[in-house]
A and B are shown apart, each in its own frame.
Chain A
Amino acid sequence: MKPKPGEPGDRELRVKRITNGTVIDHITAGQALNVLRILGITDRPEEVVSVVMNVSDRKKDIVKIEGRELKPEEVDKIALISPDATINIIRDYEVVEKHEVILPSQIEGVVRCINQNCITNTDEPVKPRFVICRGERVELHCVYCGSVIADRIADFLI
């Protein structure tokens, strides 16, 4: 018998549809947990969060956050690791907004500097900040020491 919403066994149903909230679709396969790290949803969030990995023939991950509509400035940071992700805002089961993530020009407090001797890797009261340059590939330039992160950006997530 099909479980009712809220009963044990209804996880599949939650993953399929949410009433209100945000669905982040087309996340690069394997990056869903890093998306949650970037969004700061790591430590017992108040919202119900569903993570689906390796769907559509292992091509993408999906994250669904119930009861919370993420603002573009909150979500755009995930373009760092998943540039093709799309954001769907859901109200009463309907998609009322849909947009792609746009790489911001600067990020703060998301990624730590690759340079161990950078002032941001000390106890000083300063958050790591990067200017984002997008040429053939995404590059993060540390505002403080000038170091560049170009590869394996996810490794440097805070």
Chain B
Amino acid sequence: MQHVIRIHDFSRDEIDRILDRAAELEPVAHTGSSDALSGRILATLFYEPSTRTRLSFDVAMKRLGGDVIDLGAVETSSAVKGENLADTISVISGYADAIVLRHPKEGAARMASEFSSVPVINAGDGAGQHPTQTLLDLYTIRKEGKLNKAKIAFVGDLKYGRTVHSLAHALSLYGADIYLVSPDQLKMSDLMKDALIESGTEIVETAEIDDVIDVVDVLYMTRIQKERFPDPNEYHSVVGSYRITKETLKDVKDNLIIMHPLPRVNEIDPEVDASRHAMYFRQSFYGVPVRMAILSMVM
């Protein structure tokens, strides 16, 4: 049985196979339907809020002809009676053919996989891992840009953002050059940078978007959270300097793609949405074929 817990558990070949399958399924993800998972049931357990991840798993399963059962709001589940996650997983794995889990505690998905008799797919565990987001990010880069030896800039919160950590690791498998653009307070940890450098990845660190925006193929924006700054004035000044507008994009490469895991707040001016560089909504859509690929491969 194959669980999907962390992107680090996958080799480049395995990732490529998932992305290939996603490409095959993309037409079905748009408008079609398939009976590949007819008669199968997916359980979705979200102990934290989610829009895109939850709905795209739901859509992915239904496009493949399967059914979805949902834990619903945690407040109406047996969790409020004090049932622990291990017991919930033991019960639900008897009802479904696979489980998608989002949980506020790091390592929850790994633990769930030890109690489950069916595959567990991690849909985010606290500040830890969100492997299906990484896979859809890789799919977007491969489809809309180039994945091999890409030059990618991560912008914003590189300290706490789990999306960046997982994607940076995955891109190291593809020989990427990585540009880290963040204020001092939100720099990527040395531990993580060391791991990337050890894997042979070139890293350039700067506080200014202007230093890198004209050389990169991918601009990966992240949300900077207000609570990371003790001084609100400092927050506003930092946020302002990491905002993408039409003006910011005037000298970029023709084939630059701008990505964002969403939701965005102020990082990208809505007037950028119409530009050929804006890829974040399509990126979000690619969550469907990528999750279809994962579901079809684990069930």
Q: Which residues on A are within 8 Å of B, measured CB to CB?
A: 113, 115, 117-120, 122-126, 142-148
Contacts and interface: CB of A to CB of B under 8 A. Distances in A.
6 contacts: A119-B85, A119-B107, A119-B108, A123-B84, A144-B111, A146-B106
B6 interface: yes
Contacts of A120: 107, 111
B86 interface: yes
B191 A148 contact: yes
B183 interface: no
B55 to A, nearest CB: 26
B191 A142 contact: no
Contacts, number: 52
B128 A146 contact: yes
B40 to A, nearest CB: 27
B122 to A, nearest CB: 11
A115 B111 contact: no
Contacts of B104: 117
A118 B126 CA distance: 9
Given A117-B126, A143-B110, A145-B128, A122 B86 contact: no
B127 interface: yes
Contacts of A144: 106-107, 110-111
Contact of A118 (B85, B86, B106, B129): B106
Contacts of B84: 123-125
A142 B107 contact: yes
A94 to B, nearest CB: 45
B114 interface: yes
Interface residues of B, number: 19
A108 to B, nearest CB: 12
Nearest to B85: A124
A145 B127 CA distance: 9
Contact of B105 (A118, A125, A143, A148): A118
A149 to B, nearest CB: 12
Given A118-B106, A126-B111, A143-B107, 14 more contacts: A115-B106, A118-B105, A118-B107, A119-B125, A120-B111, A123-B84, A126-B86, A143-B110, A144-B107, A144-B110, A145-B110, A145-B125, A145-B126, A146-B6
Contacts of A145: 106-107, 110, 125-126, 128
Among B85, B104, B129, the most chain A Cβ lie within 10 Å of the Cβ of: B85
Contacts of B110: 119, 143-145
Nearest to A113: B107
A146 B191 CA distance: 12
Contacts of B103: 119
A146 B189 CA distance: 14
B189 to A, nearest CB: 10
Contacts of A115: 106
A117 B114 contact: no
Contacts of A146: 6, 106-107, 128-129
A146 B6 CA distance: 10
A1 B194 CA distance: 65
Nearest to A122: B105
Among B84, B111, B114, the most chain A Cβ lie within 10 Å of the Cβ of: B111
B78 to A, nearest CB: 15
A143 B106 CA distance: 11
B111 A117 contact: no
A143 B85 CA distance: 18
A119 B105 CA distance: 5
B116 to A, nearest CB: 13
A109 to B, nearest CB: 14
B85 A117 contact: no
